[in-house]
Amino acid sequence: MAINVKICGLSTPETLAAAIDAGATHVGLVHFEPSPRHVSIEAAAQLRSDVPAHVKTVVLLVNADVQTTGKVIEKIKPDVIQFHGSETPEWINLVREKTDIETWKALGVKNAETLAKSVRYRGAVDRLLFDAPAKALPGGNGETFRWDVLKDFDHTIPWGLAGGLTPDNVGDAIRETGTDLVDTSSGIESAPGVKDVDKIAAFCKAALDA
């Protein structure tokens, strides 16, 4: 099984290059001002211009309004929009239909009931991203959740795994859940919003070797 690796919350050319060089298949740019990983649309567009065609650029939005979403699409031209708030299936599907951009929806997993409710996104998203439950921030909190709830669920939508993944646990996460996509942000930082190039390399190696 080919593993997809997303390095999220990148904000500098150096860390972006480190992720690409390490074999990341997806690079994530966060446009959400309360986050320590926030980048402006202009800065994100500049970073996006350095991403080669074989790597997908993901822009993370949290309950963004129509104007902001439109500007992100126009200026950054992402391959994927990751919706990380309380966005409805109807809104996400509308964005996908109008733009033909790949859409992901992140969901905080508390228990098996969360997974059962996730089916409402069927037909509206290209992928679900199962994360730890939201706290002060909707993601990037460095916490895992019970991976075993994913194992027995009858997945009808492509999905990926996030939440507290690090170079030390990502191999176990892949083996235990069977996921084909892993996503990390705080697990490869030296401080909130500050990516560590050595940790990026170690994470990608651990995931791709799993």
- Read off the pLDDT of residues 14-27 as tens digits, 9 standing for 90 and up: 999 999 999 999 99
pLDDT band at 140 (very low <50, low <70, confident <90, very high): low
Distance CA 210, CA 206 (A): 6
Per-residue pLDDT, 160: 97
pLDDT digits (tens, 9 = 90+) for 43-63: 999 999 999 999 999 999 999
Fold annotation for 4-209: TIM Barrel (3.20.20)
Could you report how far apart the first and last alpha carbons of the chain are, in Å?
Answer: 10
pLDDT band at 185 (very low <50, low <70, confident <90, very high): very high
pLDDT surpassing 70 at residue 158:
yes
Q: Which residues contact 196 (CB under 8 A, 6 or more apart)?
A: 188, 189, 190
Which tokens sit at 210? 């799993």
Per-residue pLDDT, 139: 47
pLDDT digits (tens, 9 = 90+) for 81-120: 999 999 999 999 999 999 989 999 999 998 888 888 899 9
Distance CA 117, CA 119 (A): 5
pLDDT band at 146 (very low <50, low <70, confident <90, very high): confident
Where in the chain does DSSP place strands (E)?
Answer: 4-7, 26-30, 56-61, 80-83, 102-108, 127-131, 159-161, 181-184, 189-191, 194-195
Domain limits, the chain: 4-209
Rounded to the nearest integer, the mean pLDDT of the chain is 93
